[in-house]
Structure 1
Amino acid sequence: MKTKCKHPALGWSIVLCSITLMACQVLASSAFAVENGGYPRSDFLVSTQWLQDHLNDPNVRIIDRQDTLPDEDLFAKGHIPNALRMTTDAVKGTKLGIPEMLIAKNFIDYLESHGISSDHHVVIVAPCSKLQAATRVFWALELFGHTKVSLLDGGTDKWLAEKRPWTTDVKSYPKTSYKVDLQRQRLLTGEELFGWLGLFKQLDIVLIDARKADEYAGQKMSRASEKLGRIPGAVSLPFDRLLVGDSYKEFKTANEIKQAFDSVGAAPAKNVFFSCVSGCAASVDYFAARLLGFPKAAVYDGSWIEWSRKDYPVEAGDQAGTNGSGDKEKAPKAKSPAKKPELPRTGC
């Protein structure tokens, strides 16, 4: 069977042959092996010591994601020296009636007004409880073609636990221009996903849902959504399965992350897409995939908030059905709330 695909992550006008895909999967599974617990893209994480050594490096810009709610100002109470405060409106807004979407102009305006160019090495820092706020910025920067971007491993929790420099001084840089090199393959739309239902196997797609297990199973309503359930064919991998630690969270070793992805059928040779409630938790899974060098990873920005508000099919139950992976059976119906839920304040 031959199927043409038009999403960049699948290849513009590339003809995929199922026999060839099976061969690629076999080769990829044997070729992809992480040795000594190292990440293929270890440059995506920096240590607390590295960041302290580069606090005054003119080629480094630090983005602080402590403040994720409209009335928060944790940044004013203290932050890593030379860090720049970023609030949620830089990475989330309403687009075509769907809330919590990335608005390109808002994001680029933030970068330029804070003196961040496409040549800077951007390091994103956040408390571990707000890791998804940091990884969302990472995803957005990759979407716009930024090549030097990292997260602080262990976040500000580890930084403070090690008694490293902390200040209330506010740093500013001269405004600059930002050169966008759009990487469209990093972004997935609901319309694209809807068009691929029933073809996941043929197109070598793995759709990962990063929400909590009860939301995935349709047992609990996700915030700001209008239906229970999930996108048909999605598999479950809550982002906290990729983290380790008590006082602060760090990403598990590469082999442990690989095992988690293996358990849901995700591999570097496949088109691995991520969804959640609004594209935040999904960006944690996305970041982990990029750490392991997955080249065809993408985030569904609208995620469940958008999908549940559209006339799209849904699926429920503990296990993924076949609607995304081959058959076109009708997805199980999930009960919708009698009253449209209020949109809560976002924490990402």
Structure 2
Amino acid sequence: MKKLLFIALIASLGACTGIEKQEADLGADYVRSKIHTEGTVIVDVRPDEAYNGWELKKDVEGGHIPGAVSFSTGWLSELTDNQKIQLLEEKGIARGSEVIIYSDYGKESLELYQTLTSLGYEKVRNYEGGMKEWSMKGYETAKMPNYSQLVYPEWLSELISGGTPGNYDGRDYVVVNVNYETHDNYLEGHIPGAIYIDTNEIESLPLWNIVSDEKLTKLFKNTGITKDTMIVIYSEEPMAAGRFAEVLMYAGVEDIRVLNGGFTAWRRAGYESETKENPWVEGEDFGAEIPLNPHYTIDMEEAKTLVEDSNGRLAAVISWDEYIGRNNGGYTYFSEKGRIPGAVFGHGGRDAYHSEDFVDPDGTMRSYTEIEKMWRDWDIASENRVAFYCSTGWRAGLALFDAHLMGWKDITVYDGGFYEWVQHPENEIGVGIPENK
């Protein structure tokens, strides 16, 4: 009898540690064999910066396991179970799939592991070796090509504290808070040392196009921006940050950084802010005639030509309702609805004032791999000549900078966009769902 009880006890202990044994058996070689395998999803729970390519720890290679989905456990904290499942499925993490979760050392990924099992996911496994083991094996990691231009709060804190953060060469820099008519918000609190530039300084009526090259030259001299200055942009509005980045790219600034998640991410990380106004400090001349990169913007006639090019893609960075002509996105200064004929759907958000398709629930940039797939589904790829447009430039600018981060080369913005298009009665307007979709 005692022997039977002992055997039963051993069996029960084995059952209790079954998960642990299963995880111990889950090594780098097994995970590697599951890359791009149908029915398996590999999930990276680490911060965006680690996923994108930043090397944050000496024993962990920057980047992620190829094919892995980026997913932050923090996104789930205030959601109902049904909302959690919906978000997980939107990210491609379906309940019927084998889900392999990893972090750097295996412990950080346990939270999502436990969440998924509580939601009814049956084939969930935690890769305990994580990126540390993956790095030790010397296995390939995937990185966003220009990851160093999307910075994170710790990086910026080290910079403004006089340090030398990674991928910084010591050049002069300016931190810029940019947005549309939010100077009062700037005075309520901003990143120490940051100046404020309103988007009214870089675009103007009647079409809200980028201002003249002469005005940009004057603005940059007044704010100490040269082609050799590193500009660190942040905003509460990702579209404003993208628009300013687009303008700097067009002008020819060589080193442009954007703070991922903006001021919200800065505060979430626990860093201090200040309320004093930092005045513009006049600097040297820009160092070249603006624009150094005129190819980052095209006009209406060039947009028409692009649509006729078999390799051209005029990508409408707008809401679906705008694209099919159901509404105009909420603009009050024009009433026309629809798209430029021949334009493909580049995604946007729920209306003209939101860009959910390009940001995650916490306001940081959506995973570049997801954006790439989102565009690929509409036949927009890096090998194409891609011109992004919206109505007045903000959403298109954000898409341009995201594509640049992804290493796309042949990209531009049709600055006049749909607002300019409808000023010309001879231009046709496309509505409805395209036949091939």
Q: Which residue of 2 aligns with 1:213?
A: 320
Q: 1:303-324 CA deviation, whole Å, 9 max, x = no partner?
A: 11101111311100122789xx
The 8 Å contact of residues 234 and 320 in structure 1, kept in 2 or not, is answered as: no
The 8 Å contact of residues 210 and 237 in structure 1, kept in 2 or not, is answered as: yes
Q: Which residue of 2 aligns with 1:307?
A: 421
The correspondence for 1:243, drawn from 359, 362, 365, is 359
Q: Which residue of 1 aligns with 2:238?
A: 131
Q: 1:80-135 CA deviation, whole Å, 9 max, x = no partner?
A: 011110012211113xxx321111333332221011221111011001xx111110
**Cα distance in structure 1, aligned partners of 2:436 and 2:422:** 18
Mark the structure with the bigger radius of gyration.
2
Q: 1:208-260 CA deviation, whole Å, 9 max, x = no partner?
A: 11111111111102423342110011111223223212xx3112223222211
Task: Confirm whether residue 59 of structure 1 aligns to residue 164 of structure 2.
Answer: no
Rate the CA distance shift 1:105–1:74 in 2: closer, same or farther, 3 A. farther
Rate the CA distance shift 1:72–1:116 in 2: closer, same or farther, 3 A. closer
**Cα distance in structure 2, aligned partners of 1:262 and 1:196:** 18
**Cα distance in structure 2, aligned partners of 1:112 and 1:320:** 50
The 8 Å contact of residues 115 and 176 in structure 1, kept in 2 or not, is answered as: yes
Mapping for residues 220-235 of structure 1, pairs under 5 Å:
220-222=327-329, 223=331, 224-235=333-344
**Cα distance in structure 1, aligned partners of 2:227 and 2:187:** 27
Code of the aligned partner of 2:207? P
**Cα distance in structure 2, aligned partners of 1:183 and 1:254:** 24
Deviation for aligned residue 1:287:
1.4
Mapping for residues 1-348 of structure 1, pairs under 5 Å:
36=141, 38-55=143-160, 59-66=172-179, 68-69=180-181, 72-94=183-205, 98-103=206-211, 104-127=213-236, 130-172=237-279, 173-179=281-287, 180-197=290-307, 199-201=308-310, 204-222=311-329, 223=331, 224-239=333-348, 240-245=356-361, 248-310=362-424, 311-319=426-434
The 8 Å contact of residues 39 and 253 in structure 1, kept in 2 or not, is answered as: no
**Cα distance in structure 1, aligned partners of 2:306 and 2:335:** 22
More helix by share: 2
Matched residue of 1:313: which SS? Answer: coil
Q: Cα RMSD between the aligned structures?
A: 2.1
Q: Which residue of 2 aligns with 1:331?
A: none
Deviation for aligned residue 1:174:
3.7
Matched residue of 1:298: which SS? Answer: strand
Deviation for aligned residue 1:283:
1.2
Rate the CA distance shift 1:226–1:108 in 2: closer, same or farther, 3 A. farther
Code of the aligned partner of 1:260? M
Deviation for aligned residue 1:43:
2.0
**Cα distance in structure 1, aligned partners of 2:178 and 2:306:** 35
- Name the TM-score, length of structure 1 as normaliser: 0.75
**Cα distance in structure 2, aligned partners of 1:192 and 1:56:** 46
**Cα distance in structure 2, aligned partners of 1:264 and 1:276:** 16
The 8 Å contact of residues 306 and 312 in structure 2, kept in 1 or not, is answered as: no
Code of the aligned partner of 1:289? A
Q: 1:322-346 CA deviation, whole Å, 9 max, x = no partner?
A: 9xxxxxxxxxxxxxxxxxxxxxxxx
Q: 1:155-209 CA deviation, whole Å, 9 max, x = no partner?
A: 1111111221200122343432112352121101112122444x231xx111111
The 8 Å contact of residues 37 and 255 in structure 1, kept in 2 or not, is answered as: no
Matched residue of 2:422: which SS? Answer: helix
Code of the aligned partner of 2:177? D
Code of the aligned partner of 1:314? I
Code of the aligned partner of 2:416? G
Code of the aligned partner of 1:207? L
Higher relative contact order (CA 8 A, sep 6+): 1
**Cα distance in structure 1, aligned partners of 2:387 and 2:291:** 21
User: What is the aligned-residue identity percentage?
Assistant: 22
Deviation for aligned residue 1:285:
1.3
Q: 1:281-312 CA deviation, whole Å, 9 max, x = no partner?
A: 11111111111111011011111110111131
Q: Which residue of 2 aligns with 1:343?
A: none
Rate the CA distance shift 1:320–1:244 in 2: closer, same or farther, 3 A. farther
Structure 2 unaligned regions, length at least 5: 1-65, 68-139, 163-170, 349-355
**Cα distance in structure 1, aligned partners of 2:286 and 2:303:** 31
Rate the CA distance shift 1:266–1:177 in 2: closer, same or farther, 3 A. same
The 8 Å contact of residues 232 and 321 in structure 1, kept in 2 or not, is answered as: no
Which aligned segments of 4 or more residues in structure 1 are displaced greater than 6 angstroms? none
The 8 Å contact of residues 89 and 106 in structure 1, kept in 2 or not, is answered as: no
**Cα distance in structure 2, aligned partners of 1:232 and 1:215:** 13
Matched residue of 2:292: which SS? Answer: coil
Larger deviation, residues 290-299 vs 230-239: 230-239
Code of the aligned partner of 2:155? W
